[in-house]
């Protein structure tokens, strides 16, 4: 339903707000609107009245005297009329706000001296195996060595990965569009260049997959969303252009949860290769699942709030969420202009360093991108890094409080209420058991780091109201997809629950502009205080979920997410139904992860320590056995 007066008053009623006693100024547009006439998409607007203003003030939590309300009417009606003039511009998703977010605190300096990356040397001289699929799970540098030495052709690799994508897509649902013609043309070009002695570097000839929010000329860019299945954007995203220039071969556009939320897209739910009964988490659902299943050499995902971290954890792959402003987002779907980041999802840490080296840096279009240098030297001694750990985040998990307990004890329960209470208790106990089990992996990670000679310094996140700043994301997302809400096309999206985008966009329309600015001012404190933390340590080790995920996405700091082992046969079973609301639903044989954080544009430091941890553990070498 379009956001008309009837729908708005229905929402108000559900909140216990009367027609004359409860909505705030941002809602005046809806309250003053009559339903759109037949053949029209915009509702007809009525003048704002004192009664509407009284209702709006109540929900905003402000007191406005009757005489003050009368004074405001002319200004409010004029302001409200301006909305339509802006909407008449029909701003596409690609148009960013004039205000550009930069995460650096005052006084911070950037290292801008670009130097050639120094990657690890692959010393093996092995030939390609007789069965090419044995290469499916090799890391980037090992595949690159085979291609460089002409032991395997790009065309052969491309055909092998295309075959795997076709074979496992019916099970895992990770492909939106195969780019077969483009891929084979690129692969043939890569082989021809190599034959002429023109080698473009370690991504030359390697097949990769793009999250389907990256524009690719000549192919649909669906954003994973119903209503956009046939959308075509007549450009290649900057990241796609840069990977083309590096010689990489784009073979598929991979799934994302609709408009970058979760793992449910218009074609179904993308699955976890370790346990296909579970979703892959999201929103970089397809990139994580396809990489984990050995169906691409690497992939590109995006994160606004966990969209690289969560599926990397669920699927047991290595993800890099770069510093905000390191990688240009030109040609990528905008969800939140001040929080969106593009980054690689790979099998190993140094794979991520290879890919970031190819895609970072200004493109003169995305104004958020800084001229900071990414300097990777695999020979650098990681032992010189000062390492902290989030002490309280590694503490023994506490039992989840029973938020319904007081209500249930206050009056006798019906039989149905008793069953519901028992079900909540069982679900709460099961979730607590999973957290306690997974905590042993966190503790073991700290012990392993100490055994490597790492001196771990306890640190804590600044005490700030991070969750109260979350409406920044949804307000920007609602603006990015304003047309969906205002025309009622949001009903085409697959997911329609209380926490899915259609409802979140409607709720976000009632977030006052003043509060948006106040939350951004609070975000300045987050950036400043977290940045001071990285003056005392170079890298912070943290569990992959929890408060740090929100804090560092708000602050724009980088994160490297690495596999941290597989749950054993003694692991608590996951819930019978994966609702997509819990990223750590567990179950025997499924992966857990660990996160390494660093200062702004110090991504190489987090990668360096994460790589040392991978070399000491080898968890990234494990992969699912899909044919068993």
How far is Cα 456 from Cα 389, in angstroms, rounded to an integer?
Answer: 6
The single-letter DSSP state of residue 372 is: -
Could you please report the per-residue DSSP string of 212-246? TTB--TTSB--TT-TT-TT-B-SS--HHHHHHHHT
How far is Cα 558 from Cα 538, in angstroms, rounded to an integer?
Answer: 12
Residue closest to 324 by CA, chosen among 339, 337, 311: 339
How far is Cα 530 from Cα 340, in angstroms, rounded to an integer?
Answer: 19
Phi-psi region of 317 (alpha: psi -120 to 50; beta: other; left: phi over 0): beta
Q: What share of the chain is helix, strand, coil (3-state, %, to 5)?
A: 40, 15, 45
3-state SS track over 28-56: HHHHCEECCCCCCCCCEECCCCHHHHHHH
Active-site hit among 154, 280, 281, 283: 283
Are residues 346 and 250 in contact, defined by beta-carbon separation less than 8 angstroms? no
* Residues in the chain, overall count: 628
Give kind and range of the element (H or E) at residue 388.
strand 387-390
How far is Cα 510 from Cα 3, in angstroms, rounded to an integer?
Answer: 12
b/e sequence 488-524, b meaning 16+ C-beta within 10 Å = bbbeebbbeeeebbbebbbbbbbbbeebbeebeebbe
How far is Cα 614 from Cα 612, in angstroms, rounded to an integer?
Answer: 5
Q: Which residue has the tokens 């997959």?
A: 209
Residue closest to 303 by CA, chosen among 613, 479, 559: 559
Q: Which residue has the tokens 């989840």?
A: 400
Active-site residue, 283 included = yes
Active-site residue, 211 included = yes
Active-site hit among 307, 368, 584, 593: 307
E strands along 76-219, which residues? Answer: 175-178, 207-211
Question: Could you give the 3-state DSSP secondary structure of residue 175?
Answer: strand
How far is Cα 150 from Cα 138, in angstroms, rounded to an integer?
Answer: 16
How far is Cα 540 from Cα 258, in angstroms, rounded to an integer?
Answer: 32
Active-site residue, 307 included = yes
Active-site hit among 154, 211, 280, 338: 211
Question: Could you give the 3-state DSSP secondary structure of residue 154?
Answer: helix
Which residues are designated catalytic? 211, 283, 307
């Amino acid at each position: 339903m379009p956001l008309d007066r009837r729908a708005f008053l229905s929402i108000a009623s559900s909140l216990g707000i009367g027609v004359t006693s409860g909505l705030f100024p941002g809602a005046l547009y809806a309250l003053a609107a009559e339903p759109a006439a037949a053949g029209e998409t915009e509702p007809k607007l009525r003048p704002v009245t004192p009664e509407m203003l009284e209702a709006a003030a109540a929900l905003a939590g402000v007191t406005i005297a009757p005489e003050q309300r009368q004074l405001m009417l002319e200004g409010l009606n004029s302001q409200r009329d301006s909305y339509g003039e802006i909407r008449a511009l029909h701003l596409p998703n690609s148009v960013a706000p004039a205000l550009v977010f930069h995460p650096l605190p005052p006084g911070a300096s950037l290292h801008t001296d670009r130097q050639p990356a120094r990657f690890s040397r692959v010393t093996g001289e092995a030939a390609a195996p007789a069965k090419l699929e044995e290469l499916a799970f090799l890391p980037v540098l090992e595949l690159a060595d085979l291609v460089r030495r002409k032991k395997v052709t790009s065309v052969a690799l491309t055909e092998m990965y295309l075959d795997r994508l076709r074979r496992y897509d019916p099970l895992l649902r990770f492909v939106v569009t195969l780019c077969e013609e483009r891929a084979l043309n690129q692969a043939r070009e890569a082989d021809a260049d190599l034959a002429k002695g023109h080698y473009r570097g370690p991504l030359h000839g390697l097949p990769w997959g793009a999250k389907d929010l990256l524009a690719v000329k000549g192919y649909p860019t669906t954003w994973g969303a119903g209503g956009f299945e046939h959308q075509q954007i007549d450009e290649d995203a900057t990241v796609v252009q840069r990977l083309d220039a590096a010689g990489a071969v784009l073979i598929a556009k991979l799934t994302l949860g609709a408009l970058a939320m979760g793992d449910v897209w218009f074609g179904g739910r993308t699955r976890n290769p370790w346990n296909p009964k579970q979703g892959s988490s999201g929103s970089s659902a397809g990139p994580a699942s396809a990489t984990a299943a050995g169906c691409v050499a690497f992939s590109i995902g995006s994160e606004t709030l966990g969209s690289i971290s969560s599926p990397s954890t669920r699927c047991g792959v290595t993800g890099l969420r770069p510093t905000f402003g390191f990688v240009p987002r030109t040609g990528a779907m905008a969800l939140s202009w001040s929080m969106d980041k593009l980054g690689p999802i790979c099998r190993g840490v140094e794979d991520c360093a290879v890919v970031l080296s190819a895609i970072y840096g200004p493109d003169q279009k995305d104004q958020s991108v800084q001229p900071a240098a990414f300097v990777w030297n695999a020979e650098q001694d990681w032992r010189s890094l000062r390492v902290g750990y989030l002490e309280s985040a590694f503490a023994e998990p506490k039992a989840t409080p029973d938020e319904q307990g007081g209500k249930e004890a206050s009056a006798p329960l019906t039989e149905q209420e008793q069953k519901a209470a028992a079900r909540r208790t069982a679900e709460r106990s099961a979730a607590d058991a999973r957290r306690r089990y997974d905590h042993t992996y966190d503790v073991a990670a700290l012990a392993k780091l100490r055994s490597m000679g790492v001196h771990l310094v306890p640190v804590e996140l600044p005490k700030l109201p991070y969750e109260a700043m979350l409406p920044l994301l949804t307000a920007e997302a609602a603006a990015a997809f304003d047309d969906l809400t205002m025309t009622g096309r949001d009903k085409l999206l697959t997911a329609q629950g209380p926490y899915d985008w259609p409802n979140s966009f409607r709720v976000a329309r009632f977030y006052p502009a003043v509060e948006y600015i106040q939350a951004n001012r609070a975000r300045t404190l987050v950036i400043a205080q977290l940045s001071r933390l990285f003056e005392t340590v170079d890298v912070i080790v943290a569990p992959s979920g929890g408060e740090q995920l929100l804090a560092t996405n708000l602050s724009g700091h980088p994160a490297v997410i690495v596999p941290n082992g597989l749950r054993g046969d003694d692991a608590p079973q996951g819930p019978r139904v994966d609702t997509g609301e819990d990223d750590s639903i567990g179950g025997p044989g499924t992966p857990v992860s660990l996160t390494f954080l660093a200062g702004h544009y110090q991504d190489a430091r987090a990668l360096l320590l994460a790589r040392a941890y991978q070399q000491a553990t080898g968890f990234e070498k494990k992969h699912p056995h899909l044919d068993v």
